[in-house]
Amino acid sequence: MTALPTNKLKIEMVHDIVCSWCPIGYNNIKTAIAKLDIEVNFRFLPFELNRDMGESGESIAGYFHRQLGWDEHKLMDYQKSLVTTATHSGVSIDFSKRKFYYNTRNAHLLMHWAERFDKQTTLNERLIIGYFKDGENISDLTLLLNIAEEIGLDRKETKAALMSTQLNQQLDDKVARYKVFDIRSIPAFIINETELISGSNSVDFFERALMQLIDEPTKKHKTNP
């Protein structure tokens, strides 16, 4: 492998906790980073797919029928293909347990809170397992506080933070930061605050894209699959 420059990349992943393609993109870019052996400052930005959804969520079957008119057979074919793709990327999706979409506002608030303790990556990977593999209701505040304790955060401080106006405003400010890119689908990856890579993509694609950005750090462009 050709030795790469040591300048550190800042990567901000625009994602939602319930987005099926986000953990696939996350694992693929993480694998590419490891293969390139580069140092990265990796952070997460919130994209709420279902901001108006109620606390109890909505069944995935009902959601796809309402949004796209899909019947049970079309949904099952899609889920089978998705599971195959996810497995190839090292992501476990169990649709016998993951049956609902949820409002992810509380989960994103926790992700933002965890950033100040350098625990975003740990939390993201815990939420991926909890939701996609175990079907947990990641909108539930009690569950999120339990998870916060699991990763070493103080429960009382975390609860107060999640309910604060200040943390909610900070989360909204993060959304405003990526509006310039006009992002309409996720996952998306902002590199060094100026470059955009869209889509989950393959490991090889991410390797090539990251190498190009390292080789041409001052050139502004968008990289799409």
Position with higher pLDDT, 126 vs 178: 126
Residue 218 has pLDDT above 60, yes or no: no
Residue 1 within any structural domain of the chain: no
Nearest to 48 by CA among 17, 74, 73: 17
- pLDDT category at 215 given cuts 50, 70, 90 is confident
Residue 4 within any structural domain of the chain: no
Mean predicted lDDT score pLDDT of the chain: 92
Assign residue 54 the CATH number of its domain.
3.40.30.10
Q: DSSP letters of 90-114?
A: T----TTT--EE---HHHHHHHHHH
Q: Beginning with the edge strand found earlier in the chain, give each strand of the sheet holding 9-15 in spatial order.
A: 40-46, 9-15, 188-191, 195-198, 222-223
- pLDDT category at 221 given cuts 50, 70, 90 is very low
How many domains does the chain fold into? 1
Question: How far apart are alpha carbons 98 and 61 in whole angstroms?
Answer: 11
- pLDDT category at 225 given cuts 50, 70, 90 is low
Residue 93 within any structural domain of the chain: yes
Residue 129 within any structural domain of the chain: yes
Residue 201 within any structural domain of the chain: yes
Residue 201 has pLDDT above 80, yes or no: yes
Share of the chain above pLDDT 90, in %: 85
| Segments forming the whole domain that contains residue 159 | 9-223
Give the tens place of pLDDT for each residue, 156-189.
999 999 999 999 999 999 998 888 899 989 999 9
Place of tokens 């990349």: 9
Average the pLDDT over 92-104 and give the result: 97
pTM of the entire predicted model: 0.90
Question: How far apart are alpha carbons 114 and 68 in whole angstroms?
Answer: 35
Residue 3 within any structural domain of the chain: no
Residue 206 within any structural domain of the chain: yes
Position with higher pLDDT, 81 vs 6: 81
Residue 191 within any structural domain of the chain: yes
Is the Cα dihedral 45, 49, 52, 53 positive or negative? negative
- pLDDT category at 219 given cuts 50, 70, 90 is very low
Average the pLDDT over 57-83 and give the result: 96
User: pLDDT at position 5, please?
Assistant: 47
Contact indicator for 214, 5 with CB cutoff of 8 Å: yes
